[in-house]
Chain A
Amino acid sequence: MSQKLSINSRITGDEAHIELIGIIDEDAVFDKIQNLKMSRFVFDFNQVSMINSCGIREWIKYLQELEGAEIKYLNCPQIIIEQVNMVHGFIRKGIIVESFFAPYFCANCDTEKKILLKNSEVENSKAPVKLCNTCKSELEFDAIEKQYFSFLSQGK
């Protein structure tokens, strides 16, 4: 049995702020956040450790009930972005990915970094320039830019 997904939710006014923690796979249960009937949803994926294709399908099924609501995704880890780029529907029309992690590399420190980017920082599928927080040298983007950022066009 895989580690269960846990969900923290906080409702303020008309907005549901939801934190997903753990693994999103075929056993993921979204009962806790079903039928909330809010007009705005903010999903924070920062603590999602794994997502597989079955989990993506479960999530897409869940999204169907949020039809008409305003949805934002925050702090999407690289594993989510990679799956999203392969399986369509995770970011349906109208969903905004406000922030996400992207792989960078510091040649000077020989270290891989996951840098949190805002969607507004990415233009024409070009990774924004980021500096190493240790040596302050410029980091190189550590994926194929055009393909990594292709998800940004999905919600439009």
Chain B
Amino acid sequence: MDMEAFEFLDDLFEPILVAEQDGTIAYFNASFLTLFRTTPRAMKKQTDFKEYFSSIIPDFNSFYEEMMKQDQVLSTELNFIIEGQVSTIIIKGVKKESGYFVMLFKDVTVEKLLNDKYRAQLEELKNTHGQIIQSDKLKVIGEMTANISHEINNPLTVAIGNTELIGFALEANDLNPQRESITKFQINIEHSLDRINKIISNMKEFLHKSEDKKEYCDAREIVEKAIAFTNPSVIGTDIQMNVMVSGAAPILLINRVKIEQVFVNLIQNAIDSLKEAGTENPLITVELKTENSGNSIQISVKDNGPGISAENRAKIFNTFFTTKAIGKGTGLGLSISNRIIQSHQGKLDLLESSVGAHFRITLPAIGIAGHVSGNWEKLISDNHKLIRVLVVDNELNILNLCMNFLSESDYHFIGASSAAEALLEMERTKIDVIITDMKMPLVDGENFVRELRAKNINIPVLFMTSKDFVDKYKTIKDELGLEGIIIKPFTKEELVGALGAIVNE
């Protein structure tokens, strides 16, 4: 071995071996010894590098034969076995003109093992992910089933109760005095069946579509419907129900059936609690008010029963948690209600109360709700210019119609049910076009626009009114700078066409 002649290779990190034409090993470095787990002493005993490598690298001979044929560096990946352990190397070899064979090695065992390991882990992750999705699906299906049966149970009880009442009424010899009661019972049954139908339709819609259809609704109307719905449960008790509205009844942009479901749950819980505790002068109060800033609506459901213990307060919204007797409650009502309110970007709180239980629902006010559930994200992602149209009308059907028409077009709809709401909305949002009803309580369309112009707000305005107001429109259009009029009833094409004319201009 002529080790000294190749000392300049000592500092190479890569394992290297130089051999002569006759197979004698001329040089190897320390990295070579480390890689092949050998010693200088053991290497001295090797007389032919081909024999040495053939004993530990099964495919070395074919590599060697190929190297002999070529004038340039040959590189390949091979396995070698030492002490029963398989390792992987990239071997580069060349036959130099001087007659020496130079072979350089790179140990890629760690990289290969890591690659295999991470592939296996990735596969495991994929499987786990699939399992999570599957179990989530099952969980949703399970919850949906429980939800459907829980929600159907209430109207079903009402329907059965009213059917029994009709039965009692029919036992009388003279049915005439009972006619009014029977009609009332029949209406209750109809309403209950209608509600079951709506719940099922809603669930079907939920299963098939991820979107949650919202509409403008009068909050008071929803609360009163929920009270009427739970009314059969208070028949024969002293429970009084009281609805208090501070100011004008708030308008909500909500999924009507779902929010009604929340009120039914809260009111039914209050009834059950009062009945079970046998509270004197039992009272349930529902309060509706618009929060001072005008950004949210607060609806409180309070009772004067025993309330909720400190121990149970933290668990009250947990799925399947119930304080009711077995068979009386599923423990789903509040957890489902909480989720429904959250899906409306609102919150359901249990407030500290000296008497009874006090739940408070906070929902975004009409303007904010419009932003949250609007189509502006889609418009932006589709690279549409965001044109914000503020529609002011106290008729909720018209707001809902405009919302549907405009959301299907490339406009961002924002609704307001009064001039005051519209002005508040304009303070926080840049509006491009206003469409306002002419005839509205408190401040009508004309005075609303006058107020805008007085404030130097020159946003284009379209009036939306019946034919009766066309003459009025003609007299004020120049003074108020009105862009046009949309005659009720109108079609989608008429609405979008009128807007298009302004926008294109």
- Chain A residues at the B interface, C-beta cutoff of 8 Å: 25-26, 52-54, 82-83, 85-86, 103, 105, 112, 140, 142-144, 146-148
Contact B114 A54, beta carbon cutoff 8 Å: yes
> Which chain B residues in 72-111 approach chain A with CB under 8 Å?
110
Q: Does B13 contact A (CB under 8 A)?
A: yes
* Residues of B contacting A103 in the complex (Cβ-Cβ under 8 angstroms): 39
> Which chain B residues in 1-52 approach chain A with CB under 8 Å?
10, 13, 29-31, 33-34, 39-41
A142 to B42 Cα, complex, angstroms: 9
Chain A: minimal CB distance from B40 (Å):
6
* Residues of B contacting A112 in the complex (Cβ-Cβ under 8 angstroms): 39
* Of the residues B13, B30, B33, B41, contact of A140 by C-beta under 8 Å: B41
A6 to B39 Cα, complex, angstroms: 30
Contact B34 A86, beta carbon cutoff 8 Å: yes
Q: Contacts A147-B30, A148-B30 hold; do A52 and B39 have CB atoms under 8 A apart? A: no
* Of the residues B10, B110, B114, contact of A147 by C-beta under 8 Å: B10
Contact B29 A144, beta carbon cutoff 8 Å: yes
Contact B40 A142, beta carbon cutoff 8 Å: yes
Contact A86 B13, beta carbon cutoff 8 Å: yes
Contact B110 A52, beta carbon cutoff 8 Å: yes
* Residues of A contacting B30 in the complex (Cβ-Cβ under 8 angstroms): 82, 85, 143-144, 147-148
| A-B interface contact total, Cβ < 8 Å | 37
Chain A: minimal CB distance from B375 (Å):
48
* Residues of B contacting A105 in the complex (Cβ-Cβ under 8 angstroms): 39, 41
Q: Contacts A140-B41, A143-B40, A147-B10 hold; do A86 and B31 have CB atoms under 8 A apart? A: yes
Contact A143 B114, beta carbon cutoff 8 Å: no
* Residues of A contacting B10 in the complex (Cβ-Cβ under 8 angstroms): 144, 146-147
The 4 A-B residue pairs with the shortest CB-CB distance in the complex, in nearest-first order: A147-B30, A82-B34, A142-B39, A144-B30
* Residues of A contacting B40 in the complex (Cβ-Cβ under 8 angstroms): 142-144
Chain A: minimal CB distance from B10 (Å):
6
* Residues of A contacting B110 in the complex (Cβ-Cβ under 8 angstroms): 25, 52-54
| 18 intermolecular pairs with C-beta atoms under 8 Å apart | A26-B114, A52-B110, A53-B110, A54-B114, A82-B30, A82-B34, A83-B34, A85-B30, A103-B39, A105-B39, A112-B39, A142-B39, A142-B41, A144-B10, A144-B29, A144-B30, A147-B10, A148-B30
Chain A: minimal CB distance from B83 (Å):
13
Chain B: minimal CB distance from A112 (Å):
8
For the A-B complex with A53-B110, A147-B29 known, give 12 more contacts whose Cβ atoms are closer than 8 Å. Answer: A25-B110, A26-B114, A52-B110, A82-B30, A82-B34, A105-B41, A140-B41, A142-B40, A143-B33, A144-B10, A144-B30, A144-B33
Chain A: minimal CB distance from B377 (Å):
42
A9 to B433 Cα, complex, angstroms: 72
A108 to B78 Cα, complex, angstroms: 37
A85 to B35 Cα, complex, angstroms: 12
* Residues of A contacting B34 in the complex (Cβ-Cβ under 8 angstroms): 82-83, 85-86
* Residues of A contacting B29 in the complex (Cβ-Cβ under 8 angstroms): 144, 147
* Residues of B contacting A86 in the complex (Cβ-Cβ under 8 angstroms): 13, 31, 34
* Residues of A contacting B114 in the complex (Cβ-Cβ under 8 angstroms): 26, 54
A153 to B13 Cα, complex, angstroms: 16
Chain A: minimal CB distance from B224 (Å):
60
Contact A143 B31, beta carbon cutoff 8 Å: no
Contact A143 B13, beta carbon cutoff 8 Å: no
Chain A: minimal CB distance from B28 (Å):
9
Chain A: minimal CB distance from B112 (Å):
12
Chain A: minimal CB distance from B416 (Å):
57
Chain B: minimal CB distance from A82 (Å):
4
Chain A: minimal CB distance from B39 (Å):
5
**Most chain-A Cβ atoms within 10 A of its Cβ — which of B29, B41, B114?**
B41
Q: Which residue of B lies closest to A86 (CB)?
A: B13
Q: Which residue of B lies closest to A140 (CB)?
A: B41
* Residues of B contacting A146 in the complex (Cβ-Cβ under 8 angstroms): 10
Chain B: minimal CB distance from A67 (Å):
26
* Residues of A contacting B33 in the complex (Cβ-Cβ under 8 angstroms): 143-144
A140 to B41 Cα, complex, angstroms: 9
A130 to B154 Cα, complex, angstroms: 93
> Which chain B residues in 474-501 approach chain A with CB under 8 Å?
none
> Which chain B residues in 205-249 approach chain A with CB under 8 Å?
none
A105 to B33 Cα, complex, angstroms: 15
A54 to B110 Cα, complex, angstroms: 8
A148 to B33 Cα, complex, angstroms: 10
A25 to B31 Cα, complex, angstroms: 19
Q: Which residue of A lies closest to B121 (CB)?
A: A1
A37 to B110 Cα, complex, angstroms: 33
Chain B: minimal CB distance from A51 (Å):
11
A105 to B42 Cα, complex, angstroms: 11
A143 to B39 Cα, complex, angstroms: 6
* Residues of B contacting A82 in the complex (Cβ-Cβ under 8 angstroms): 30, 34
Chain A: minimal CB distance from B34 (Å):
4
* Residues of A contacting B31 in the complex (Cβ-Cβ under 8 angstroms): 85-86
Q: Which residue of B lies closest to A53 (CB)?
A: B110
A143 to B30 Cα, complex, angstroms: 7
A148 to B114 Cα, complex, angstroms: 28
A86 to B15 Cα, complex, angstroms: 10
Chain B: minimal CB distance from A27 (Å):
9
